[in-house]
Amino acid sequence: MLDISKLKLNDKVDLSKYKSMQFTFQKDRFLTFNKIMTILGIVLFAILFLPWTQIVQGKGYVTALNPSQRAQSIESAIAGRIEKWYVKEGQIVKKGDTILHISEVKDKFFDPQLLTRAQSQITAKNFSYESYIEKVKSLNFQIEALKEERKLKLEQARNKLMQANLKVESDSIELEAEKTQINIAERQYERTESLEKEGLKAVTDLEEKRLKLQNSQAKLVSQKNKLLASRNEVINARIEISSIKANYQEKISKAESDKFTALSGQFDTEAQRTKLETEFSNYSVRSGMRFITAPQDGFVNRALQSGIGETFPAGTQVVSIMPTDLDLAVETYVDPIDLPLLHPGEPIRLIFDGWPAIFFSGWPNLSYGTYGGKIVAVSRTMDPKKGKFRVLIEENPEEEPWPDVIRAGSGARTMALLDDVPVWYEIWRKINGFPPDYYMPQDSNTNENKNQNSKK
């Protein structure tokens, strides 16, 4: 058995009668094996040249296409204390339905008559504001009346000044006339005196001329006094004009000062009234916030706060709600190396968790149980937690619709169908760790050409 002896067994025993030895010594068996291997090699070689569809795989979950249709947590805008629940988990609610009633926990808002008292303060401020308005109107009328009275008084004083100037002029003329008269009287007196010395005139004539001369001198002095009095009247008229201007300017200034004081009070009252109205609006809005309502039709997922009498600060999430009317989408994540291969509008295949599917990578037409989708958006930034880029996919209306019973949050696998390459090229790419072939979809190329032509 160990082939130690030089004696051969087949020299003493005839082994040809055994079937195993007959098969061993048969030389045709190698021909059959060679044929099988040759055929298998040809088939494998031919497979290397078959078309292979490159894919980019990703894993994600079902979500809503529109942000407003995704699950949301309703927060309380104010701090409060739970008073009563109007819903329970799993209940369908309509938009505007009351979910929770809370009460105030801040002493500033404890007063049950807060809105009534605030409205009373606003009413009082309105009366004060209207009083200031009427006072300003009255002062405006007073100012206008003072200005009109000043105008009339000045006109009267100017008339007096004009009369005084005319009187001065008249007195000046009369003074000149008196000077002429006294000159005549002096010449007559001198002539009569000469004649009297010569004996041609009587003494009575001389005394008459002397009296006439003295009368003329007296009239001249009187006329000078009258002229000085007229000039004093001119000065008094001018002083009166200045006095009228000063007096009425003082009165008008005081009225305007009162007016500006009233305006200041009016504006201050208006500011206080606006502040009170703002507070009243805030109180009204805050009182409405004591009842937390559903922002849209939805399904109550979970009560995040529980019990009666529990207090919480402002901004606390109290209940989670999922909209009932939503357009489903799939949110998947791909590696950065595959990001340049994905473009909005490209088709994609999906496999939902819980739905059996058979997928042949490279031959998607032979797959079963997959659903069609279309890329909606490709993120421009990387998710820091996952280290991948987010891709949003919607249902392809040209293919079989997605199952109605899938829910947001269900898992999904995605296969983006890329370019068709030979099998040998795909094997070579996988061995070397190269990414799938980069290409631009036809629609993108068309859009780029249009943009370039428009720039030209």
C-beta of residue 444 within 8 angstroms of C-beta of residue 341: no
Residues 247 and 316 in one domain: no
In-domain check, residue 449: no
C-beta of residue 416 within 8 angstroms of C-beta of residue 348: yes
Residues 280 and 134 in one domain: yes
Assign residue 406 the CATH number of its domain: 2.40.30.170
Residues 99 and 156 in one domain: no
Assign residue 297 the CATH number of its domain: 2.40.50.100
Residues 88 and 209 in one domain: no
**Where in the sequence is the domain holding 255, given as residue range(s)?**
114-288
C-beta of residue 279 within 8 angstroms of C-beta of residue 108: no
Please state, in angstroms and rounded to a whole number, the distance separating the CA atoms of residues 216 and 183: 9
**Structure-token pair, residue 419:** 């370019």
Q: Which residues contact 332 (CB under 8 A, 6 or more apart)?
A: 58, 59, 60, 390, 391, 393, 412, 414
Please state, in angstroms and rounded to a whole number, the distance separating the CA atoms of residues 47 and 52: 10
What residues are paired with 104 via a beta bridge?
none
C-beta of residue 334 within 8 angstroms of C-beta of residue 388: yes
Q: Provide the 10 A C-beta neighbour count for residue 52.
A: 21
In-domain check, residue 13: no
In-domain check, residue 443: no
Assign residue 216 the CATH number of its domain: 1.10.287.2610
Residues 126 and 270 in one domain: yes
**Structure-token pair, residue 350:** 């999906």
Residue 415: Cβ-neighbour burial (10 angstroms; 0-12, 13-18, 19+): buried
Residues 58 and 174 in one domain: no
Q: Any idea which residue has 């009534």 for tokens?
A: 116
DSSP 248-300: HHHHHHHHHHHHHHHHHHHHHHHHHHHHHHHHHHHHHHHHHTTEEE-SSSEEE
Residues 224 and 370 in one domain: no
In-domain check, residue 64: yes
Residues 339 and 380 in one domain: yes
Residues 123 and 269 in one domain: yes
**Structure-token pair, residue 422:** 């030979």
What proportion of the chain, given as a percentage, has pLDDT over 90? 7
pTM confidence score: 0.56
In-domain check, residue 445: no
Please state, in angstroms and rounded to a whole number, the distance separating the CA atoms of residues 137 and 133: 6
Q: Which residues of the chain have pLDDT under 70?
A: 1-33, 50-54, 200-201, 206, 357-369, 417-423, 425-426, 429-430, 432-456
pLDDT of the residue at 268: 92
Closest CA to 227 of 160, 169, 314: 169
pLDDT of the residue at 442: 55
What residue ranges in 284-367 does DSSP mark as E strands? Answer: 291-293, 298-303, 311-312, 317-323, 328-334, 347-352
- The phi, psi pair for 250, rounded to 5°, reads -65, -45
Residues 132 and 211 in one domain: yes
Residues 299 and 376 in one domain: no
Closest CA to 201 of 210, 211, 191: 191
Length of the chain: 456
Please state, in angstroms and rounded to a whole number, the distance separating the CA atoms of residues 350 and 393: 9
C-beta of residue 332 within 8 angstroms of C-beta of residue 414: yes
In-domain check, residue 315: yes
Please state, in angstroms and rounded to a whole number, the distance separating the CA atoms of residues 202 and 205: 5
C-beta of residue 334 within 8 angstroms of C-beta of residue 55: no
Per-residue pLDDT tens over the stretch 118-167: 889 999 999 998 998 999 999 899 999 988 988 888 888 888 888 888 88
In-domain check, residue 33: no
C-beta of residue 128 within 8 angstroms of C-beta of residue 122: no
25 DSSP assignment? H
Residues 372 and 247 in one domain: no
pLDDT of the residue at 403: 84
In-domain check, residue 448: no
Tally of domains within the chain: 3
Burial per residue of 13-46, b for 16 or more beta-carbon CB atoms within 10 angstroms, e otherwise: eeeeeeeeeeeeeeeeeeeeeeeeeeeeeeeeee
